[in-house]
A and B are shown apart, each in its own frame.
Chain A
Amino acid sequence: MSLSFIIYLVINTLVVLAIAPLFVSIIKKVKAWTQGRQGPSLFQTYFNLAKLVKKETIYSAHSSWIMRITPLVSIAAILVAALFVPLVFVPEPVGGIGNIILLLYLLALAKFFMALAGLDAGSSFGGMGSSREMSISAIIEPTTIIVFAALAFVFKTLNVFTMFSASVASGTTSTPTLILLAISLFIILIVETSRIPVDNPETHLELTMIHEGMILEQSGPNLALMELSSAVKLTLLMALLINLIVPFGLSTTLTLGALVLAIVLFALKGTILAGIIGLFESSMAKMRFFRLPSLFAMAFFFSTLIIIIEVFA
């Protein structure tokens, strides 16, 4: 493991932790604007997290050790997963880091523990949330695999780092396969981060909530960790989309100037994408649960199309 890789580990984790709450706030702000409201301050998510950290953690009397370790497992898995997706600087890959299948299963691990914690306290809402989350995961799994397989086919590698280097090197942004990929990845992003039309992150409406249902029993610093891990997950999926489709500015050499430029550009591109997500969410209603497969089918369709093109053409 070289020195530049260690620097990469530090920089990537710091950047993702620093920028993730901002993107969540931007999405909220855009949604508020489209509804004609002022919306919370851009730093509100940071304030929320800071406040939660100071509060006391309360466990239900029925809960077990699952409840206690879930926030830690979740944030750990997601932060490690965030290392797989370089935000601003792409080093040479080391070991298994960057493997796209491992990335998927790290995300699945966090999701699995979150679902367990939802069941653990014995609250019926948590149980419903977990049950829905697991059903959706089971349905989205083939689609996710196909989308990532399409990525692997397009870039001829399983390693995210190599994909990013290739996309920086080619620099083209508008090949048709990338457009189709962008749509598929966007759908995956929406589904994985529990946003409208799959789930509404803003309500605690017992009949529909999925993600909120599972973390209903968390409190204090644990809740802060869960919120932070979902923000980081959003950021890493956004980074995957951004750095594959519009890679310009992504630094491949470790110099201070390139790094600062890359951070600024990433924040800018992320802001635009967060705005797009906000507009997308505002423009549609939550889908009925049993209609969700048609959304996934869209991503599945485009990715399979990419594979057909890549294999036969």
Chain B
Amino acid sequence: MIDPALIQSVIRVLFAVVIITAAYIISTRNLSTLVSAYAFQSLTLVFMALALWSLEDAPILLAIAIITFISKVLIIPYFITTIQERIRIKRDIEFHFLSPTTSLLLSMGLILFIYIALSNILKDTAARESLFFFGAVIGLSLMLMGMMVTFSRKRAITKVLGYLSMENGVLLFGMFVTELPFIIEFLIVIDLIILVMLTTILSVGLDSTLEEYHDRLHRFHLVEDTEEGS
């Protein structure tokens, strides 16, 4: 059996990694590394679930690790990379309301706010000092940081990544604080995959009329050109 103190310190390091990837997702303008950062973040969550599993020995954590690995490290990044290759957008440089710098500074304030709020809520409980409190703080922060990505980016594909990283936050919170029923975790993952598949279709045409949409599908090589002259 591995030493629990060692596992706890590993989990703390993984927390730091999650925060780093979240900050990267907020501030980067390069789409391909954005997807890698998301996949890496999900991988960190997988390791975290495995570490928790070895600590608590609950099979549900192992199950979460497995489905997270399959869906969020392999399938979803694969879909998003495919769509990126097709629509040939390399960078996302347009922002609503907030520049990346401002969002980073704002998310700092959010983390502080969550920290203080949660420590007030959990003041008299035993959970206050533990790892699980940190997990809750980082989970919630990740959620809000993902939310900021969602509303500060203009491109649909980045919005989706923001949403996905928000869901990672929910998963993190769920792992550390409440024991979500496994069926709900599983349904969320299926929802996410469907969302990403829909996005692969819609991200080129969300803002267009149906006639234009068809044109765009051709322009971005999403359907093979069958008629001549196109």
Mark A residues whose CB is within 8 Å of B: 174-177, 179-180, 183, 293-294, 297-298, 300-302, 304-305, 308, 312-313
Main secondary structure, interface of B, reads helix
Decide: A298 near B27, CB < 8 A? Known: A304-B108, A305-B111.
yes
Question: B4-40: contact bitstring with A at CB < 8 Å (1 yes, 0 no)?
Answer: 0000010011011101100100010000000000000
How far in angstroms is the closest Cβ of chain B from A129?
24
Decide: A302 near B105, CB < 8 A? Known: A174-B13, A175-B9, A308-B115.
no
Partner of B16, one of A176, A298, A301: A176
Contact A298 B12 (CB under 8 A): no
Contact B99 A301 (CB under 8 A): no
Contact A301 B105 (CB under 8 A): yes
Residue numbers in B under 8 Å from A294 (CB-CB)? 27, 99-101, 104
Partner of B20, one of A183, A293, A297, A313: A183
How far in angstroms is the closest Cβ of chain A from B149?
14
Cα of A309 to Cα of B164 in the assembled complex, Å = 26
Instruction: List 28 contacting pairs A-B, 8 Å CB cutoff, sorted by A.
Output: A174-B9, A176-B12, A176-B13, A176-B15, A179-B13, A179-B17, A183-B20, A294-B27, A294-B100, A297-B104, A297-B105, A298-B23, A298-B27, A298-B104, A300-B104, A300-B105, A300-B108, A301-B23, A301-B105, A301-B108, A302-B19, A302-B23, A305-B19, A305-B111, A308-B108, A308-B111, A308-B115, A312-B119
Partner of A297, one of B9, B27, B111: B27
Cα of A183 to Cα of B116 in the assembled complex, Å = 25
Cα of A145 to Cα of B23 in the assembled complex, Å = 20
Residue numbers in A under 8 Å from B20 (CB-CB)? 179-180, 183, 302
Residue numbers in A under 8 Å from B99 (CB-CB)? 294
Report the interface size for chain B: residues with CB under 8 A from the other chain: 23
- For B103, give the chain A residue with the smallest CB separation: A297
B194 beta carbon closer than 8 Å to chain A: no
Cα of A302 to Cα of B27 in the assembled complex, Å = 13
Residue numbers in A under 8 Å from B23 (CB-CB)? 298, 301-302
Decide: A179 near B105, CB < 8 A? Known: A294-B100, A308-B115.
no
Cα of A305 to Cα of B142 in the assembled complex, Å = 14
Q: With A294-B100, A300-B104, A302-B19 given, can you name 5 additional A-B contacts, CB distance below 8 Å?
A: A176-B16, A183-B20, A293-B101, A294-B99, A304-B108
Decide: A179 near B101, CB < 8 A? Known: A297-B27, A305-B111.
no
Contact B9 A305 (CB under 8 A): no
How far in angstroms is the closest Cβ of chain A from B61?
21
Contact A180 B107 (CB under 8 A): no
- For B17, give the chain A residue with the smallest CB separation: A179
B190 beta carbon closer than 8 Å to chain A: no
Contact B13 A312 (CB under 8 A): no
Residue numbers in B under 8 Å from A304 (CB-CB)? 108
Within 8 A of A (CB), among B53-110: 99-101, 104-105, 107-108
B112 beta carbon closer than 8 Å to chain A: yes
Residue numbers in A under 8 Å from B116 (CB-CB)? 312
Cα of A179 to Cα of B17 in the assembled complex, Å = 8
Within 8 A of A (CB), among B113-134: 115-116, 119, 134
Residue numbers in B under 8 Å from A183 (CB-CB)? 20
Cα of A297 to Cα of B134 in the assembled complex, Å = 23
Cα of A183 to Cα of B23 in the assembled complex, Å = 12
Residue numbers in B under 8 Å from A293 (CB-CB)? 101
Cα of A174 to Cα of B116 in the assembled complex, Å = 26
How far in angstroms is the closest Cβ of chain B from A284?
10
Cα of A312 to Cα of B101 in the assembled complex, Å = 25
A-B CB proximity, top 5 nearest: A176-B16, A297-B101, A294-B101, A297-B104, A176-B12
Most buried by A among B16, B19, B116: B16
How far in angstroms is the closest Cβ of chain A from B228?
42
